[in-house]
Chain A
């Protein structure tokens, strides 16, 4: 089932972090699914993706955590 998901990421603090997350998602051919990537207070960011499968979500979390710069919370 396709759905919209929101992933909160610890360690995002600047524009480069936003861009890097976007690049990581583009590498997974998910650019069409990106609804928004935003910074939040307290060194966090949020990624909102649309039309996502459960299977992809796991892969995204793994990819983000593998950067060693960010951690999905």
Chain B
């Protein structure tokens, strides 16, 4: 700590000093700990530890002679290694200028490229899988087999569920690793993950049964509610991700549990966030990933506790392999402290990407401006500005085909305000959240598309621009103009 620790008594022997460099010092506690521990050695009179120089200056007397090997044996358990030579540590920033010359920290540059490589590889894999449109190979209804829901879960975990539930899981890994930082047991290190997945499976089983019990008496189509939950969770994910990549500003945010809730779910004496992963896992039932919403709706329409429960458990089991993969990578990297920092940065960037991806989607759902509106990213399909005609019954009709993971207009997407309108959707096998269509402001909530022709009554539309997209806002938005 810069304050020299000195033993009170000293013999009149000549005092000698030596400097030892210490690998493994990483915080102010290390300074104090090293000073206190070294002072206990016979012969050492004073110790001054410096985190900045990662060194200790030792004043000693008598026959004592610092023995590096012996010190390393004694301090290895604490994670320190002594050396007489300075440990080469490259603390220069990635780029710096000295005497008008650009200095590149090649070691950091190499790490930077590694991180960029992993992140870009992830993006290629993610969008590659999304473009495969795996959902087209699996279509489920409430009478589908349990195996079909399992496969549906696998597809979900490779798509929007990866962005939401996978993102939540990934953003928690750093905190869970810190919780068991000093644990030797792999089981202990893995315990938050085991609790998370157990909580998820149990809640899906229980709530699935509950939905089956309720039958169709409730509706899961409040797009405002789901959009706000997703945006809130994504903002928390975003802040946790900033913490993972070491942004100082983000460290001030702590997402603790209210004390009263902690007391409810666990005995205070044994509670150290231990059981929280279980409840986080359980709460993922309420995260509105598009596929989860479909499974939940089918559990509702099954009208049976057992069927509803089995649908949701099978679905959750299907998502398990990918989510377990995320957990496994977190635990493995926790065993390798040299890789933990890199893992946190890559995982943090992925979570930031997921958070932005989710928020952008929900802005589409709410009909608000989003990244999808920027021409470069734009997936909006330009619509004919001529309003559709009015049929003999005095009704305007617009139509699209819903297929794969897109909505394809088959008429002009412009309506006249004040004249009754109907919206025809020909579902030719739309997948994932595409089956839940929404256009906030134009019609209420989500409309679940059945196969074949669907007719949505738009009533008497008011002037405005409305975004037509899926429940997750991930299907390329189409703008419906009401003029």
- Any A CB within 8 A of the CB of B110: no
| B28: chain A residues within 8 A (beta carbon) | 69
Contacts of B30 in A (CB 8 A): 16
Which residue, A14, A39, A40, A41, has most C-beta atoms of chain B within 10 A?
A41
Known interface pairs A67-B32, A69-B32; A18-B27 also in contact (CB < 8 Å): no
Nearest-neighbour CB distance to chain B for A33, whole angstroms, equals 17
Count of residues in A whose CB is under 8 Å from the partner chain: 20
Shortest distance between the CB of A48 and any CB in chain B (Å): 8
Q: Which residues of B contact A50 (CB under 8 A)?
A: none
B32: chain A residues at CB < 8 Å are 20, 67, 69
Whether the pair B27, A38 counts as a contact (CB closer than 8 A) is no
A40 to B26, CA, bound (A): 19
- Over the window 284-319 of chain B, the binary record of Cβ atoms lying under 8 Å from chain A Cβ atoms (1 yes, 0 no) is 000000000000000000000000000000000000
B3 nearest in chain A by CB position: A68
Answer yes or no: A30 CB below 8 A from chain B CBs.
no
Q: A13-B27, A20-B32 are in contact. Are A39 and B175 (CB under 8 A)?
A: no
- Stretch of B115-123, B133-141, B177-185, B470-478 at the chain-chain interface: B177-185
Taking a contact as CB atoms under 8 Å apart, the answer to whether B26 and A23 are in contact is no
Q: Shortest CB–CB separation between residue A73 and chain B, in angstroms?
A: 12
Contact A15 to B182, CB < 8 A, known contacts A23-B36, A67-B32: yes
Interface bits A23-56 vs B (CB < 8 Å: 1, else 0):
1000100000000001111100010100000000
Are B33 and A23 touching (Cβ within 8 A)?
A: yes
Q: How far is the CA of A47 from the CA of B28 in the complex (A)?
A: 20
Please determine whether B37 and A41 come into contact, CB atoms closer than 8 angstroms.
no
- The SS class assigned to the A binding surface is mixed
Complex CA distance for A6 and B254, rounded to whole angstroms: 22
Is B256 part of the contact surface with A, judged by Cβ < 8 Å?
yes
Q: B273 within 8 Å of A by Cβ?
A: yes
Q: How many A-B contacts are there with CB distance less than 8 Å?
A: 57
Inter-subunit contact A39/B27 (CB<8 Å)? no
B179 near A14 with CB under 8 A, answer: no
Q: Does A19 contact B (CB under 8 A)?
A: yes
Q: Is the CB of A17 closer than 8 A to any CB of chain B?
A: yes
Decide if the interface of chain B is mainly helix, strand, loop or mixed: helix
- B263 interface residue per 8 A CB criterion: no
Distance between Cα atoms of A17 and B30 in the complex (Å): 8
Asked if A39 and B182 sit within 8 Å, CB to CB, the answer is yes
A20 near B36: Cβ-Cβ < 8 Å:
yes
A14→B27 contact, CB < 8 A: yes
Please tell me if B269 contacts chain A, counting CB pairs below 8 Å.
Answer: yes
Nearest neighbor of A43 in chain B, beta-carbon distance: B254
**Shortest distance between the CB of B22 and any CB in chain A (Å):** 12
With A14-B27, A69-B28 as contacts: A40 and B78 at CB distance below 8 Å:
no
Residues of chain A with a CB closer than 8 A to B256's CB: 41-42
Docked-complex contact B37 and A69, CB < 8 angstroms: no
CA–CA, A67 to B276, complex, Å? 31
Q: Are B178 and A20 in contact (CB under 8 A)?
A: no
One digit per residue, 1 when the CB lies within 8 angstroms of any chain A CB and 0 when it does not, for chain B 35-46 equals 011000000000
In Å, the complex CA distance between A41 and B276 comes to 11
The distance in angstroms between the C-alpha atoms of A3 and B295, with both chains bound, is: 53
Is B78 in contact with A46, judged by CB distance below 8 angstroms? Answer: no
Q: Is the CB of A15 within 8 A of B78?
A: yes
Q: What sequence of 0s and 1s flags, for each residue 149-179 of chain B, a beta carbon within 8 Å of any chain A beta carbon?
A: 0000000000000000000000000010011
- The answer to whether B452 has its CB under 8 Å from any CB of chain A is no
B175 touches A14 (CB 8 A): no
A20–B79 Cα gap in the complex (Å)?
Answer: 13
Known: A6-B269, A42-B273. 19 other contacts (CB 8 A): A13-B27, A13-B178, A14-B181, A15-B78, A15-B79, A16-B29, A16-B79, A17-B27, A19-B33, A20-B29, A23-B33, A23-B36, A39-B181, A40-B179, A41-B179, A41-B256, A41-B272, A42-B256, A48-B269
Instruction: List chain B positions with a Cβ less than 8 A from chain A.
Output: 26-30, 32-33, 36-37, 78-79, 175, 178-179, 181-182, 254, 256, 269, 272-273, 276
Residues of A that sit less than 8 Å from B by CB: 6, 13-20, 23, 27, 38-42, 46, 48, 67, 69
Q: Mind listing 14 A-B residue pairs with CB under 8 Å? A: A6-B269, A13-B178, A15-B181, A16-B29, A16-B78, A16-B79, A17-B27, A23-B37, A41-B175, A41-B179, A41-B272, A41-B273, A42-B273, A46-B272
